[in-house]
Amino acid sequence: EMQLVESGGGLVRPGGSLRLSCTVSGFTLSSYSMNWVRQAPGKGLEWISYISSPSTTLFYADSVKGRFTISRDNAENSLYLQMNSLRAEDTAIYYCARGNWGSFQYFDVWGQGSLVTVSS
């Protein structure tokens, strides 16, 4: 069974940092692009970052560009999101999602999410 499990969320003060992890199982991570998507409380889905399967191509939404960094370790079956200079508006559930075969495809496997709360 294909699974994505996020971890690393929690409460952080404005201006602080946090690193999210996404551990995958049931498929070969190196074969797929991966993404982070977030959902503010009671709101809709917002794509925030993409990484290609050999990590050569990275993209970010304008809302997180320059503050967040996506990375992956295929040998460890893990995806990461380093979040710096956090703001109250970054409070959300963060999901990792697998892109289907090819570049910039729809998301066919999702995790359950990890809650990040930015508050003083």
Partner 1 sequence: EMVMTQSPATLSVSPGERATLSCRASQSIGSNLAWYQQKPGQGPRLLIYGASTRATGIPARFSGSGSGTEFTLTISSLQSEDFAVYYCQQYNNWPYLYTFGQGTRLEMK
Binding residues for partner 1 (CB under 8 A)? 35, 44-47, 50, 59, 95, 97, 100, 103-113
Give the integer Cα–Cα distance in Å for 98 and 109: 5
> Given the complex with partner 1, which of 56 and 120 has the nearer CB atom?
56
Closest separation between CB of residue 3 and partner 1, Å? 11
Question: Which CB atom, from 28 or from 103, has the smaller least distance to partner 1?
Answer: 103
Which residue, 97 or 116, is less far from partner 1 as judged by CB?
97
Cβ closer to partner 1: 62 or 120?
62
Which residues, including other chains, have CB under 8 Å from residue 75's CB and lie 6 or more apart?
none
* Distance from C-alpha of 113 to C-alpha of 39, rounded to nearest angstrom: 9
The strand pairing partners of 82, in sequence order, are 19, 69
Residues 96 and 4: their CA atoms lie apart, in Å, by: 7
Residue 12 near residue 118 (C-beta atoms within 8 A): yes
